[in-house]
A and B are shown apart, each in its own frame.
Chain A
Amino acid sequence: MADTVFAPWDDPDQKPLIRFRNVTKRFGDFTAIDDLTLDIFEQEFFALLGPSGCGKTTMMRMLAGFENPTEGRIELAGNDIAGVPPNKRAVNMMFQSYALFPHLSIWDNIAFGLRRESSDKAAISARVEEMLKLTRLEKFAKRKPHQISGGQRQRVALARSLAKAPKLLLLDEPLGALDAKLREATQFELMDIQEKTGTTFVIVTHDQEEAMTVASRVAVMDEGRIMQVATPEQIYEAPQSVYVADFIGDVNIIRGSATAVGPDRYQIAWAEGRDPVHAVSTRPFSDGQECHLAIRPEKVSIHAEHPAADNAVQGKVLDIAYLGNLSTYHVELPTGEIIKAQVANTRRISRRAFTWEDPVWISWTETAGVLLDQ
């Protein structure tokens, strides 16, 4: 076991591999990236996560050299890389479409980059063999890209972009074209390869599950800004805004006004004539300040009787989403709000305790939710 956790971002002595310093990118009137500052460290598996059009691909293309920032600096290992063309950067990219050369064999595709910088045939051959082995493609070396499957093509694209041993590998939606099962397997393969090669990976994705699985840190983006950069656990458990909480996974948001009732404890008046709910928060709120309590559905439990809990509300089952391993109950409160409660299906479905229109109680603890001001 490693005795230290990999967290260079917490160490002030660590020099980041990539620095975005107040980077802005405009296309005509459209601002794709808006005054963005970000550090990415060596050996990180960094995910840029956001809806389409949030600027994540633009960031990646600026790293690859296909776009230059309108304002600000991008540093790679301490050097400003603005104006350095793509072919002069120690950065390689795996394209969303894979961009394999259809007229070349798998072997020649992987060797393509190596041949540009060296003419040592033996060295190139050794490196290609190594890459083929790493991606388990030895058997397909002689085939053309159209003669192999989507998953294999994905691995060829990865092998080709890793062949030159770049300082930084960019992956643009690398698993977008694969089906769910294969995607999951490939995610672990990517992590494995990243660990083996020690290359810094920056992945662009709109799939939050993918980002959470593979990344050491995730940056959630929206409209050219970074909303939060943190580890997957922090992003999920301690989102800093309703946007992030809502973008990552499922969440119940209860709006109300906060009143301090003790150190770090608040009560939230959320509806006229209802008992306030309680929550613990290290984020300070002034009395009467508007707040949003974000609670994950799996942290809400559902009961037939009034439970002894920090917070309990009555409602009735409006809908049940059966997901196989889990069921999500949509419970409608008398105020009209809908709270989702997720329960693991540890019993057979025929023995389900609640059904539609059942009156139920839902409850959660004081520490279950996150109190947010925006």
Chain B
Amino acid sequence: MKRAFLIAVPYVWLLALFLIPFAVVFKISLSDIELAIPPYTPTMKDGLWTMLSQLDFENFIFLTQDDLYWKAYLSSLQIALISTVLTLMVGYPMAYAMARAPEQWRPTLLMLVILPFWTSFLIRVYAWIGILSNEGFLNQFLLWIGIIDTPLTVLNTNTAVYIGIVYTYLPFMILPIYSALDRLDGSLIEAAEDLGCSRLKAFWLVTIPLSKNGIIAGCFLVFIPALGEFVIPSLLGGSGTLMIGKVLFEEFFSNRDWPVASAVAVILLLILIVPIVLFQRNEQKQAEAEK
């Protein structure tokens, strides 16, 4: 009885907070737009059977007809992929340095990585506007030391979006890699050197493969939220920045076309299922290997 209850808790959680909302969104995606409250038809007021019989897939068909949508999906995938690679390139050396730092420093360093979460995400993104804008700190600094003569336009470009995503999701990359590197037995590196590896070769042949699970986990933790990211592209990105999160927002709130917006959301979720399943499998494999 107690066992059944314990197992039921996560399933009830999943049902209430994921499956039911998803069913609602899916239902809206099959409805038609209407100027009413709520702004779609049919609803339960028409009776269950009438409602079900009026549902159709025309919004999904619409998504394939207007090239805005698939372009936005592709562009989101591209931005998410590039930012994941960038985050890995910035995060790995940081995680490595943390794992190699003297023992008494590590808790402090970990703390510093987590520290930004203590401030609102929105405020931190706004802070980047102050840094990246034409009159911002970055340009003033570069002008002051004389590297550039005219301010660089960084804000409202894809570059700003990359900076924003890398900055925001860096801790999600660092933490799993750090935890993998922290567990790495130092004598393995010594053994590799003893058997004829240079430092670099030992890093490549031992450190990298043994932190692989951390790298994979970190990449998914960055890639998955970055794909549907809305705040960063809408605040830092420009008119040229096409991301599905932004499209979704505009459909919902500017166009008030809830059915199309819901269809966009459903497709986004389907795209995300693949990396989420892969991520779960990686976590499971890691847990098994540690037994």
Give A residues with C-beta under 8 Å from B.
Answer: 64-66, 85-87, 91-93, 95-97, 99, 101-103, 112-113, 116-117, 146, 160-161, 164
Contact = CB atoms under 8 A, between A and B. Distances in A.
**Interface of chain A, main secondary structure:** mixed
A147 B233 CA distance: 48
Contacts of A97: 185, 187
B53 to A, nearest CB: 57
B33 to A, nearest CB: 54
18 contacts: A64-B194, A66-B190, A87-B196, A92-B195, A93-B194, A95-B190, A96-B187, A99-B187, A99-B188, A99-B191, A101-B210, A102-B210, A112-B192, A112-B205, A113-B195, A116-B201, A164-B195, A164-B196
B193 A87 contact: yes
Given A91-B194, A101-B188, A164-B196, 16 more contacts: A65-B193, A86-B190, A86-B194, A87-B195, A87-B196, A87-B197, A96-B187, A99-B191, A101-B192, A101-B206, A112-B195, A113-B195, A113-B196, A116-B196, A117-B196, A161-B195
**Interface of chain B, main secondary structure:** helix
A87 B206 contact: no
Contact of A85 (B193, B195, B210): B193
B205 to A, nearest CB: 8
In the A-B complex, the 7 residue pairs with the smallest Cβ-Cβ separation, listed nearest first, are A113-B195, A116-B196, A99-B191, A99-B187, A86-B193, A103-B209, A87-B196
A162 to B, nearest CB: 11
A262 to B, nearest CB: 57
A87 B198 contact: yes
A103 B190 CA distance: 16
Contacts of A65: 193-194
A146 B289 CA distance: 9
B201 A92 contact: no
Contacts of A86: 190, 193-194
Interface residues of B, number: 19
B196 A99 contact: no
Given A66-B190, A112-B192, A99 B185 contact: yes
Nearest to B196: A116
Contacts of B190: 64, 66, 86, 93, 95, 99
| Most central of B185, B196, B197 by chain A CB within 10 Å | B196
Contact of A116 (B188, B195, B289): B195
Contacts of B196: 87, 113, 116-117, 164
A91 B194 CA distance: 8
A175 to B, nearest CB: 17
B194 to A, nearest CB: 5
Nearest to B191: A99
Contacts of B212: 103
A97 B187 CA distance: 8
B191 to A, nearest CB: 4
Contact of B187 (A91, A95, A113): A95
Contacts of B205: 112
Interface string B193-226: 1111110010001100110100000000000000
B185 A160 contact: no
Contacts of B188: 99, 101
A317 to B, nearest CB: 49
A101 B206 CA distance: 7
| Most central of A85, A91, A92, A112 by chain B CB within 10 Å | A112
Contacts of A92: 194-195
B240 to A, nearest CB: 43
Contacts of A96: 187
A101 B204 CA distance: 13
B209 A116 contact: no
Contacts of A161: 194-195
